[in-house]
């Protein structure tokens, strides 16, 4: 604790010194405070403390080519639904950096990504309680324009308990290189054909402590990527191989793993088409082989589906990548019906169609020899089965009617496999649902606007049908007021046909913002970037303050 306080004053004096010397301090803070009530009907339980709070503050200081920074975090205790291992206050993130013209060196904590992240990505997603920051050193070197080399070494943050951050047992080492051929090859820079290539290798070292299995101490993973564009067509792909890595997630099998992502598309003004294909088998790569859940990931396995933002579409049956592996495809078509046409209207009309499907992949157990080498099956990339994990069809139409009115309509059809990623105990197998949304906004005058949203979700399973209405009134640039009612009118148990009524208002001053929210929130799934976390039902007051400086 003393160390933290010393560090705190150290940085504070460093910052004030910096201001004298013409350095720059930037940063941000966020505070979420909840006062919780118990509400047995919706299943909300207040903790003994009644008041819970998460607070974060980042400070970066830079002068010339040097930069240093730290993040304070405090969970006193953590807000409802946040992972239980977040508790106490401390400074788990601090770094110093030199950023020259060709070389950048960082010591301490850092975030980094190689290629698409399929082999290595350390990042934070505060809303979900995800943070796998590296603690060690990184270097980035650009010997020539168009060539970029990166190296990282360190352990990952996996835990923050009683003010102490805990690091992974495994040590992560990685190298990555990328070459933009248009910039490197003389005379190629003006070509319509653009191409860049890259390659990475990442390895984990972890001591072994298993009596029955001979585990590999070093597990390697490597692969390459390519990015090409010709005129309006483009294609990018990455393939990563992972050596055998027996771990808790894969049930201690000695199979190798693979990950492949391919994006191809066509894009011109007013029209965009993109097809994504993804194949993952045994590709969870963690800095501790004994860990499961969302912690200690070395790599990032993105979900292949649209990120839905309307409440009923985004939080009841959301899809996240299956960690054991899957084959998935996604198609997006975006089109702007031109303005001043019969169909497009005066300002044009935006249409977006998105379809995605994810299935299990084929495991050939005949070809494997379990007795001999503990390899339990052989998998071929992109070999689908008819066992669907998730199917998602959605269509969006958006139009500006005149200077005052805007409207949009949205339709979703989901088939969700609740046996594979369980989101509810009330249903088995497939949950099919249809969702409709209408969103209308009206600009009253320069400063005042009003917006209304009506959503309906229809399903014969789980908790039945839902209806949601939202009304939002905003006064630019300072105020907003919102009322939302979610009504579970189709619940099979009549006592549980509940209104979840929630009111909120907020105030913005330049880059500071606070918000008060009072009412009932149903339990649901909070997803950011394809990673999801269940959040419990709550009843009470939430205060949020965010600021950047």
DSSP result, 396-430: EEEEE-SSSEEEEEEEEEEEEETTTS---SS--SE
For other proteins, the binding residues in 110-169 under the rule CB under 8 A are 111-113, 116-118, 121, 123-124, 140, 142, 145-146, 148, 163
What's the min distance (Å) between Cβ of 243 and other proteins? 23
DSSP result, 312-367: HHHHSS-----TTEEEEEEEEEEEEEPTTBTTTBTT-EEEEEEEEEEEEE--BSTT
Burial of 479 (0-12, 13-18, 19+ CB in 10 A): middle
Give the position of tokens 């949601």. 468
Is residue 345 a contact residue for other proteins (CB under 8 A)? Answer: no
Is residue 539 a contact residue for other proteins (CB under 8 A)? Answer: no
Is residue 340 a contact residue for other proteins (CB under 8 A)? Answer: no
Residues near 360 by Cβ (< 8 Å), separated by ≥ 6? 322, 325, 326, 327, 384, 385, 387, 389, 420
Is residue 474 a contact residue for other proteins (CB under 8 A)? Answer: yes
Which of 258, 286, 352, 399 binds other proteins (CB under 8 A)? It is 352
Is residue 530 a contact residue for other proteins (CB under 8 A)? Answer: yes
Nearer to other proteins, 70 or 167 (CB): 70
Nearer to other proteins, 159 or 236 (CB): 236
Nearer to other proteins, 432 or 547 (CB): 547
Nearer to other proteins, 24 or 210 (CB): 24
Could you give the string, one character per residue 280-319, with x where binding to other proteins holds by CB under 8 A and - elsewhere? --------------------x-xxx--x-x----------
Number of residues that bind other proteins (CB under 8 A): 96
For other proteins, the binding residues in 430-469 under the rule CB under 8 A are 441, 443, 446-449
**Strand partners of residue 330:** 276, 356
Is residue 509 a contact residue for other proteins (CB under 8 A)? Answer: yes
For other proteins, the binding residues in 190-229 under the rule CB under 8 A are 194, 196, 227, 229
CA angle 235, 236, 240 (to 5 degrees): 150
Is residue 24 a contact residue for other proteins (CB under 8 A)? Answer: yes
What's the min distance (Å) between Cβ of 199 and other proteins? 16
Is residue 429 a contact residue for other proteins (CB under 8 A)? Answer: no
Report the b/e string of 179-211 with b at 16+ CB within 10 A. bbbbeeeeeeeeeeebbbebbbbbbbebeeeee
Nearer to other proteins, 42 or 541 (CB): 541
Is residue 513 a contact residue for other proteins (CB under 8 A)? Answer: yes
Nearer to other proteins, 275 or 541 (CB): 275
What's the min distance (Å) between Cβ of 233 and other proteins? 11
Q: Can you tell me the distance from the alpha carbon of 200 to that of 285, in angstroms, rounded to the nearest whole number?
A: 14
Is residue 374 a contact residue for other proteins (CB under 8 A)? Answer: no
Is residue 263 a contact residue for other proteins (CB under 8 A)? Answer: yes
Nearer to other proteins, 118 or 312 (CB): 118
What's the min distance (Å) between Cβ of 447 and other proteins? 5
What's the min distance (Å) between Cβ of 421 and other proteins? 16
Nearer to other proteins, 144 or 501 (CB): 144
Q: Can you tell me the distance from the alpha carbon of 79 to that of 544, in angstroms, rounded to the nearest whole number?
A: 11
- Taking CA atoms, 63 is separated from 68, 107, 418, in Å, by 9, 17, 53
Is residue 362 a contact residue for other proteins (CB under 8 A)? Answer: no
Which of 350, 362, 434, 485 binds other proteins (CB under 8 A)? It is 350
Q: Can you tell me the distance from the alpha carbon of 342 to that of 420, in angstroms, rounded to the nearest whole number?
A: 46
- Taking CA atoms, 443 is separated from 76, 475, 478, in Å, by 42, 10, 16
What's the min distance (Å) between Cβ of 464 and other proteins? 28
Q: Are 530 and 117 in contact (CB under 8 A)?
A: no
What's the min distance (Å) between Cβ of 392 and other proteins? 13
Sequence-separated contacts (24+) of 267-272 with Cβ below 8 Å: 267/232, 267/234, 268/232, 270/335, 270/336, 270/338, 271/334, 271/335, 271/336, 272/332, 272/333, 272/334, 272/335
């Amino acid at each position: 604790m003393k160390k933290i306080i010393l560090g705190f004053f150290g940085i504070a004096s460093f910052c004030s010194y910096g201001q004298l010397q013409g350095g720059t301090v930037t940063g941000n803070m966020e505070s979420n405070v909840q006062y919780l009530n118990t509400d047995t009907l919706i299943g909300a339980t207040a903790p003994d403390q009644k008041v819970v709070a998460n607070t974060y503050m980042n400070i970066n200081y830079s002068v010339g080519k040097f930069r240093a920074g730290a993040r304070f975090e405090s969970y006193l205790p953590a807000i409802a639904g946040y992972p239980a291992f977040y508790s106490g206050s401390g400074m788990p993130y601090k770094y110093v950096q030199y950023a020259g013209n060709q070389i950048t060196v960082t010591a301490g904590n850092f975030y980094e990504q190689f290629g698409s992240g399929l082999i290595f990505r350390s990042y934070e997603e505060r809303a979900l309680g995800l943070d796998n920051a590296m603690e060690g050193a990184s270097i980035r070197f650009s010997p020539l324009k168009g060539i970029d080399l990166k190296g990282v070494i360190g352990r990952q943050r996996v835990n923050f308990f009683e003010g102490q951050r805990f690091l992974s047992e495994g040590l992560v080492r990685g190298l990555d290189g990328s070459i933009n051929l248009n910039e490197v090859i003389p005379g190629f820079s003006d070509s319509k054909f653009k191409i860049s290539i890259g390659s990475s290798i990442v390895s984990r070292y972890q001591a072994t402590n298993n009596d029955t299995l001979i585990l590999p101490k070093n597990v390697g993973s490597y692969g390459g990527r390519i990015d090409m564009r010709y005129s309006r067509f483009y294609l990018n792909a990455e393939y990563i191989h992972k050596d055998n890595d027996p771990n808790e997630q894969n049930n201690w099998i000695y199979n190798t793993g693979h990950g492949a992502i391919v994006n191809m598309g066509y894009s011109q003004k007013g029209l965009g088409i993109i097809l994504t294909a993804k194949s993952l088998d045994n590709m969870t790569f963690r800095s501790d082989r004994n860990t499961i859940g969302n912690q200690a990931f070395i790599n990032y396995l993105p979900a292949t589906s649209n990120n839905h933002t309307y409440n009923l579409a985004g939080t009841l049956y959301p899809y996240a990548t299956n960690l054991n592996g899957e084959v998935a495809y996604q198609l997006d078509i975006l089109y702007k019906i031109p303005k001043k046409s019969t169909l497009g209207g005066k300002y044009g009309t935006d249409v977006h169609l998105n379809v995605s499907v994810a299935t299990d992949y084929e495991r050939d157990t005949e070809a494997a020899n379990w007795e001999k080498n503990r390899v339990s099956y052989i998998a071929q990339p992109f070999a689908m089965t008819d066992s669907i994990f998730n199917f998602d069809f959605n269509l969006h139409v958006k139009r500006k009617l005149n200077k005052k009115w805007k409207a949009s309509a949205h339709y979703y059809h989901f088939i969700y496999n609740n046996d594979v990623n369980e989101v509810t105990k009330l249903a088995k197998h497939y949950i099919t649902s249809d969702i409709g949304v209408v969103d209308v906004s009206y600009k009253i005058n320069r400063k005042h606007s009003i917006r209304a949203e009506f959503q309906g979700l229809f399903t014969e399973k789980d908790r039945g049908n839902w209806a949601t209405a939202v009304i939002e009134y905003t006064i630019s640039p300072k105020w907003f007021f919102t009322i939302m009612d979610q009504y579970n009118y189709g619940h099979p148990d009549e006592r549980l046909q509940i209104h979840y009524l929630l009111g909120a208002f907020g105030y913005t001053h330049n880059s500071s913002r606070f918000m008060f929210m009072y009412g009932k929130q149903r339990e649901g799934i909070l997803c950011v970037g394809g990673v999801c976390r269940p959040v419990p039902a709550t009843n009470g007051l939430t205060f949020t303050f965010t600021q950047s400086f």
